[in-house]
């Protein structure tokens, strides 16, 4: 007897890769069918804008299309497909959903529980990609890569970047603060250690890995990481505790000439306060990869500042992110079919 699996992917989380990994893991115990949505070529939806999708965000697809495609399938593997309470009631045969992302924000988890549907996710799917990107972002700011690039494109040869009072700084002489020591933050710390910098970590819910502690990494308070860092890089989840934690007060306590890097989530920052800190100090520059509203408005003030590097939320965009997520999802499906406990139940 085979189990029917519906796979809904997109142009990033390729459904054919998930199908390949699932069939390799499950063999003839599974039959699959796939659908490919048009993300990222079209934007995601948010539940507050669509009737019947209350509480869902970062999803793509309509209720009718998803329900019709899933049909009698017992398992749904998806990246962005929504699953609202009403949709669960229309899919009585659905017993498991594997969401290929860190948080199942496109799934009504209360409804899943009420309908007895197991939901699993793929935590850390892009942690390595984001960590590597973060190191690149830090070097872009500390070594004046952005400044040299932008001026050279304008025909300006920045020979003055060799002046001792203008030149960039090496990481081995700097203190780098890391807020958030989860899947991404721990990898950032391990990559930073190779540069020989002093590393401070702020995360009130963890203990340092013994290897990091032995290498001199320090676990410190929020006040210390803000005040002592030459570079501050953000990696916490968005919560009531972290939303707006980078605000006028915390920015005012940062070192003159310090740098801020955000490859986490936009709501962690108060952007009005950040704009002021970049215009009049203490920040010398910032690298912003995520924003509270995506895409940001074309007249957004931060887009106009010369001391900011901005990228369109691409830190996690790597091919390995896709294959790693597919491998995790396939293992979860195999475990379900073999009546083994899930690794990452939500």
Domain segments of the chain as ranges: 3-125+318-337, 127-310
Superfamily per CATH, domain 3-125+318-337:
NAD(P)-binding Rossmann-like Domain (3.40.50.720)
| DSSP string for residues in 284-309 | EEEEE---SSSSPPTT-GGGG-TTEE
Q: How many Cβ atoms are within 10 Å of 236's Cβ, its own excluded? A: 22
Percent of the chain at pLDDT above 90? 93
- Please check whether the two domains, 3-125+318-337 and 127-310, share a CATH topology: yes
pLDDT digits (tens, 9 = 90+) for 197-236: 999 999 999 999 999 999 999 999 999 999 999 999 999 9
Phi, psi (5° rounding) for residue 73? -60, 140
Q: What is the pTM of this model?
A: 0.91
Residues with active-site annotation: 265, 294, 313
Q: Are strands 30-36 and 3-9 parallel, antiparallel or unpaired?
A: parallel
Rounded average pLDDT over 112-121:
98
Q: Are 263 and 314 in contact (CB under 8 A)?
A: no
Task: Give me the DSSP letters along 159-217.
Answer: GGGGSTTTS---GGGSEEEEE--SHHHHHHHHHHHTTT-EEEEE-TT----HHHHHTT-
Fold of 127-310: Rossmann fold (3.40.50)
């Amino acid at each position: 007897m085979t189990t029917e699996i519906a796979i809904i992917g997109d142009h990033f989380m390729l459904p054919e890769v998930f199908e390949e990994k699932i069939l390799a893991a499950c063999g003839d115990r599974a039959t699959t069918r796939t659908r490919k949505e048009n993300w990222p070529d079209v934007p995601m939806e948010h539940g507050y804008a669509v009737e019947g999708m209350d509480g869902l965000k970062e999803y793509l697809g309509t209720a009718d299309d998803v329900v019709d495609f899933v049909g009698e399938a017992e398992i749904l593997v998806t990246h962005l497909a929504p699953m609202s309470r009403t949709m669960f009631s229309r899919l009585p045969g659905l017993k498991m959903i594997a969401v290929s992302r860190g948080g199942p924000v496109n799934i009504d988890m209360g409804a899943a529980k009420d309908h007895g549907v197991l939901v699993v996710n793929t935590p850390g799917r892009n942690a390595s990609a984001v960590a590597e990107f973060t190191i690149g972002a830090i070097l872009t700011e500390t070594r004046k890569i952005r400044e040299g690039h932008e001026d050279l494109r304008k025909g300006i040869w920045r020979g003055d970047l060799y002046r001792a009072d203008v030149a960039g700084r090496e990481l081995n002489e700097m203190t780098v603060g890391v807020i958030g020591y989860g899947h991404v933050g721990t990898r950032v710390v391990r990559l930073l250690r190779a540069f020989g910098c002093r590393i401070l970590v702020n995360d009130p819910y963890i203990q340092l890995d013994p290897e990091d502690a032995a290498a001199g990494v320090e676990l410190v308070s929020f006040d210390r990481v803000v005040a002592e860092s030459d570079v501050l890089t953000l990696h916490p989840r968005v919560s009531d505790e972290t939303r707006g934690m980078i605000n006028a007060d915390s920015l005012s306590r940062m070192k003159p000439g310090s740098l801020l890097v955000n490859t986490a989530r936009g709501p962690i920052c108060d952007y009005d306060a950040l704009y002021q800190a970049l215009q009049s100090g203490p920040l010398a520059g910032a690298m912003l990869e995520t924003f509270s509203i995506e895409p940001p408005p074309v007249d957004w003030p931060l887009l106009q500042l010369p001391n900011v590097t901005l990228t369109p939320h691409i830190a996690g965009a790597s091919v390995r992110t896709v294959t790693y997520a597919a491998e995790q999802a396939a293992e979860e499906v195999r475990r379900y079919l073999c009546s083994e406990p899930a690794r990452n139940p939500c």
